[in-house]
């Protein structure tokens, strides 16, 4: 599923802002509307209280003395119609607008001696305030009411007054977030353009300092990948150049021998040149085989599904007959010290690694000499050692011997210079290391490969 960084940022920023606005609008409306309604109710209640002083008890009979001017002031309102009602004991009509509701329909807004409720009167919705007072020991109800046009208009005005600024604020917030995200992602777009302009012949690293702190590690890692690619490309170019040189020499020798063979009248000389040509072809085949093994040992050269648990003693015994014949032909003593050890890897490559170690030791050890092959498990690792009694490897050359096509100046036996390079590639590909160490006796060379160990069940 493709994810957009821009969409994710906008979602995580706009969604909480939208939820906050949606939550704030009804809250703000309630906080403003409620006090306004209470203020209108209080004004209506004050009008009811203003009726109380005008009620008198004369000779036991209630009289409501309300001058026309006062009634005109009470009913004066440019928006709503104002009504009032005064009831005596047993809901006896005293004055005002007969039939005006004076009790809440379901007792929903009773506050002591004051009732506030909504009702209908003369075909209009009205807000009613009824106040109970005792005058000369008799209970009376003073009721005032007004239509709800002013209240309804106030609701609309409040909704508009709150909604419009909030909508403007929401739009401003959305645009700010949008342009903020766009501006924040501009460096990413710059990196994309820089990557688009890269050419395979000129891989320039990106400038990590202009990248935001959050993606600077990514740019740094990318630059390191470019550096590794450049080093790999340079190594590949060196390998191709060296391989071309190494292949050109035996091919030229074979061609020369064949051309001389065509003109050679003597049968004995022809036999000699034929043997020389066969030897050159064998060396060429060995070189090509070594190059193919080296390519297979590089990352991605062999499929990971070929990995399995390799029993090192069994593998060494399987390959040993060829080494024994080579050692006997050269007058060398080949010994084995094999203890249980297992590794996880490609069996073919593991065999090539050990074979290159052993053949390299046999080639560089003069007769009479000794070559010993060891394997064992040690501290969770599998150790492979090949020790010889030859001239050894100088300390200053112990890193160079693992380079491709490198050969010691003192080497007398023909070779390709790829054997130990193959050993290093296979060891690194298996998560291990290879190193040259001093022998216990101080003579010859000891090459040790350390690989991650495993149990046979693995």
Residue 127: band (very low, low, confident or very high) from pLDDT cuts 50, 70, 90: very high
Q: How far separated are the first and last CA of the chain, in Å rounded? A: 35
Q: Kindly list the strands in the beta sheet with 93-96, ordered across the sheet, starting from the edge strand earlier in the chain.
A: 93-96, 82-87, 138-147, 124-135, 114-121, 110-111
3-state class (DSSP) for residue 391: coil
Alpha-carbon span 375 to 414, nearest angstrom: 28
pLDDT on residue 126? 94
| Residue 186 clears pLDDT 50, i.e. is over it | yes
Instruction: Write the pLDDT tens digit of every residue in 258-292.
Output: 777 777 777 777 787 777 777 777 666 766 766 66
Instruction: Write the pLDDT tens digit of every residue in 68-119.
Output: 888 888 888 889 999 999 999 988 999 999 999 988 876 555 556 888 899 9
pLDDT on residue 294? 63
Residue 4: band (very low, low, confident or very high) from pLDDT cuts 50, 70, 90: confident
Alpha-carbon span 172 to 164, nearest angstrom: 12
CA distances for 50 relative to 53, 71, 136, 194, angstroms = 7, 11, 17, 83
Note whether 116 and 108 are within 8 A (CB).
no
3-state class (DSSP) for residue 207: coil
Residue 241, strand partner residues? none
Alpha-carbon span 33 to 37, nearest angstrom: 6
Alpha-helical runs (H) found in 365-438: 419-429
Alpha-carbon span 167 to 437, nearest angstrom: 78
3-state class (DSSP) for residue 271: helix
83 φ/ψ angles, rounded to the nearest 5 degrees: -130, 155
Q: What is the mean pLDDT of residues 177-206?
A: 74
Alpha-carbon span 417 to 426, nearest angstrom: 16
3-state class (DSSP) for residue 116: strand
| H/E run at residue 86 | strand 82-87
Alpha-carbon span 355 to 418, nearest angstrom: 12
CA distances for 255 relative to 52, 241, 260, 276, 283, angstroms = 135, 21, 9, 11, 14
Instruction: Write the pLDDT tens digit of every residue in 359-405.
Output: 888 888 888 899 999 999 998 899 999 999 888 888 888 787 777 76
Other C-beta atoms closer than 10 Å to the C-beta of 151 total 19
Q: Is 73 left (phi over 0), alpha (psi -120 to 50) or beta?
A: alpha
């Amino acid at each position: 599923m493709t994810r957009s960084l821009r969409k994710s940022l906008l979602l995580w920023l706009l969604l909480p802002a939208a939820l906050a606005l949606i939550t704030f609008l009804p809250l703000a409306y309630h906080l403003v509307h409620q006090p306004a309604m209470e203020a209108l109710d209080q004004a209506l209640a004050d009008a009811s209280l203003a009726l109380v002083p005008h009620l008198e008890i004369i000779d036991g009979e209630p009289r409501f003395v309300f001058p026309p001017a006062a009634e005109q002031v009470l009913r004066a309102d440019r928006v709503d119609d104002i009504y009032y009602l005064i009831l005596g004991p047993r809901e006896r009509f005293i004055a005002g607008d007969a039939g005006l509701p004076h009790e809440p329909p379901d007792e929903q807004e009773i506050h002591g001696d004051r009732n506030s409720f909504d009702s209908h009167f003369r075909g209009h919705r009205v807000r009613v305030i009824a106040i109970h007072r005792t005058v000369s020991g008799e209970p009376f109800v003073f009721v005032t009411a007004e239509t709800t046009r002013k209240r309804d208009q106030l609701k609309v005005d409040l909704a508009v007054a709150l909604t419009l600024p909030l909508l403007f604020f929401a739009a401003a917030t959305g645009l700010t977030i949008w342009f903020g995200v766009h501006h924040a992602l501009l460096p990413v777009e710059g990196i994309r353009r820089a990557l688009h302009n890269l050419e395979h012949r000129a891989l320039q690293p990106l400038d990590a300092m202009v990248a935001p702190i959050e993606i600077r590690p990514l740019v740094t890692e990318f630059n390191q990948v470019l550096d590794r690619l450049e080093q790999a490309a340079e190594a590949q170019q060196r390998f191709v150049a060296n391989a071309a040189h190494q292949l050109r020499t035996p091919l030229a020798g074979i061609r020369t021998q064949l051309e001389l063979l065509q003109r050679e009248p003597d049968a004995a000389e022809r036999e000699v040149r034929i043997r020389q040509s066969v030897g050159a072809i064998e060396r060429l085949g060995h070189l090509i085989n070594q190059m193919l093994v080296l390519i297979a040992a590089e990352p991605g050269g062999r499929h990971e599904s070929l990995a399995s648990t390799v029993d090192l003693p069994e593998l060494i015994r399987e390959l040993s007959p060829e080494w024994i014949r080579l050692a006997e032909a050269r007058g060398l003593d080949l010994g084995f010290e094999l203890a249980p050890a297992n590794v996880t890897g490609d069996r073919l490559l593991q065999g090539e690694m050990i074979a290159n170690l052993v053949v390299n030791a046999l080639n560089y050890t003069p007769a009479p000499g000794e070559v010993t092959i060891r394997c064992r498990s040690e501290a969770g690792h599998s150790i492979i050692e090949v020790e010889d009694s030859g001239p050894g490897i100088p300390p200053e050359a112990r890193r160079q011997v693992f380079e491709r096509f490198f050969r010691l100046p003192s080497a007398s036996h023909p070779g390709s210079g790829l054997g130990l390079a193959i050993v290093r590639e296979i060891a690194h590909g298996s998560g291990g290391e290879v190193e040259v160490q001093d022998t216990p006796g101080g003579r010859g060379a000891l090459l040790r490969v350390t690989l991650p160990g495993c149990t046979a069940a693995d």
